[in-house]
Amino acid sequence: MIICMIAVAVAIVTYLNAIRDELVYAKETQIALEVEDELRKIDVDISNSTSVVYATGNIMSKLRMDDNRSQLVYMLENILEESSVNYAIICDQNGKGFDMNNRDVDVSNESYFAELSSDYANGGSGMVLPRDVQSSIAEIMIVYSAKFSGQTRGFLVAYLPVKTISEQLFREKYLADGQAIIGLSGDIICSRGFERVPARSSSIWDKVPPSLSKDTVKLAISQKNVLMTEVPNYGYTIVVPLQSANGGCIVLISKGQMNTMVGRSMEPGYRFCAAMVLISVAFVLLVLLANLVADAIQKSAGRKAAAEHETDIITGLLTGEETLKEIDSYTAEGADNKGMLFVIGTNITRDRINEKGSAQFNDQLREFARGLKSGFRSTDVIGRTGDSEFTVFLKGVGDEKDVRKQTDEMQLFLHDATSGSEVSDLEVNAGAVLFPNGGRNARDLIESGRRALTRARQQGAGRLSF
């Protein structure tokens, strides 16, 4: 019963874990699809804005930065009108220039200017992410390195407000401990839930669990692959890359938050498992009840059988008196009844095995009795009629053919009992007598059988005599 209950418990736990894993995967997939859909909008906006900035920069390179300031300001204004850019400037290699409002600017002290000077000094275009927490206000800088007419080299820098673009991304659609749009290096462009820990850091790696693999996140972003992974000792991480920029969105969900989200979907599984537990308990109780009833019936049948037939306490065979009663009951039924009786003698005596104790004596008697019961029909009368003597009465055996067959089978039994027994130097003989020729009642038949047994013993062990 205990093993059964343990098996049921293991099966239920395995079933619930399998359901939970499937629900967690489904929830991760749903969140990833929602984030991907919102990032697609950002990708479109970045692509459109980048195209406008690059096209404008190409035209600006045909103008002189000093002499055509009004035209350049107009082009900067046009960038804001044609894209999602909210601020644009033109500056020279020293960081001095003007913005779309025709105001002078100097960005030489900005943290990102060193990257402009080193990466775009000889031309090119791309995007730069802010690196200090003050300027990390959810903006991406689209850069176009222009060589203006008159050999003046400078930069067109357009500020794209990602936070404005991604307002829909961080809506309370699902439970998450933190989510952010980050660059490949881990710089946070905009976020929710990561602002306070630690307060002055703009890197995502300072705010996520140490067990989260930085390289795995970077690889997913660089290869443009969606990542859904379990974080040891924490929960789950989902990374969805931006297609138009080298960055992406990272979402962290603790196990507690995930359990809350999938809890309602787990309720049918819990109800099913509760039903299985109740069914299992009911089944076990029914089995116990059936066993109790079966034991009661068996004990009742045993008591009834014991009342009807007194059995030997050691061998379980009929006692001598019960053997006589059974045989007399059959012989008294009519003169036409026939039968064959064997008196079987063994050397399993107390004196012979006295040095081994009564337990050894009882064990040998039980083993021999089992062989007798397995070798004859259930309708035959089998009893212990002496200390080491047994009687077998075969009902209905009288024809010559049947007598010969039963004689051969008894001779085979004597051989097997002597050679195949675990009891060393066991000797078995049998005396046979027919009813009614050998006697009219049980006592006469057994006495005749004993005389035949004496003759068989005189011939040697394992012999049978009539």
- The values of phi and psi at residue 14, to 5°, are -60, -45
Question: What pLDDT was estimated at residue 39?
Answer: 75
Whether the bond between 209 and the residue before it is cis, its omega within 30 degrees of 0, is no
Q: How far apart are CA 436 and CA 341, in angstroms?
A: 10
pLDDT-based confidence at residue 298 (cuts at 50, 70, 90): low
Residue 28 amino acid letter: E
DSSP H or E segment with residue 398: none
More confident residue, 266 or 286: 286
Q: List the one residue out of 67, 111, 65 whose CA is nearest residue 89.
A: 65
Q: What is the pLDDT of residues 346-394, one digit of tens each?
A: 887 766 655 555 667 778 888 888 888 888 887 889 998 888 889 999 8
More confident residue, 457 or 4: 457
Question: What pLDDT was estimated at residue 136?
Answer: 40
Q: How far apart are CA 462 and CA 426, in angstroms?
A: 10
- In this prediction, residues 66-74 reach a mean pLDDT of 86
- In this prediction, residues 311-333 reach a mean pLDDT of 85
Average pLDDT over all residues of the chain:
79
Question: What pLDDT was estimated at residue 88?
Answer: 92
More confident residue, 87 or 30: 87
Question: What pLDDT was estimated at residue 315?
Answer: 81
Is the pLDDT at 429 greater than 60, yes or no?
A: yes
Spatial CB neighbours of 396, under 8 Å, sequence gap ≥ 6: 337, 338, 339, 402
Question: What pLDDT was estimated at residue 358?
Answer: 60
Question: What pLDDT was estimated at residue 77?
Answer: 92
More confident residue, 422 or 441: 441
Q: What is the pLDDT of residues 23-48, one digit of tens each?
A: 888 888 888 888 877 777 777 777 88
More confident residue, 101 or 418: 101
Retrieve residue 421's tokens.
Answer: 């027994």
For 370, how many CA atoms within 13 A lie in the half-sphere containing its CB?
A: 8
Residue 432 pairs in a beta bridge with 342
Q: What percentage of the chain exceeds 70 in pLDDT? A: 82
Cβ(241)–Cβ(247) below 8 Å: yes
Q: How far apart are CA 281 and CA 347, in angstroms?
A: 55
More confident residue, 46 or 189: 46
CA distances from 208 to 201, 225, 238, 309, 412 (A): 12, 20, 12, 84, 86
pTM above 0.75, yes or no: no
Is the pLDDT at 278 greater than 80, yes or no?
A: no
Question: What pLDDT was estimated at residue 363?
Answer: 80
Question: What pLDDT was estimated at residue 288?
Answer: 80
- In this prediction, residues 297-307 reach a mean pLDDT of 59
CA distances from 40 to 35, 226, 431 (A): 8, 13, 104
Spatial CB neighbours of 76, under 8 Å, sequence gap ≥ 6: 56, 88, 89, 90, 99, 100
Q: What percentage of the chain exceeds 90 in pLDDT? A: 7
More confident residue, 434 or 169: 434
Whether the bond between 232 and the residue before it is cis, its omega within 30 degrees of 0, is no
Question: What pLDDT was estimated at residue 148?
Answer: 75
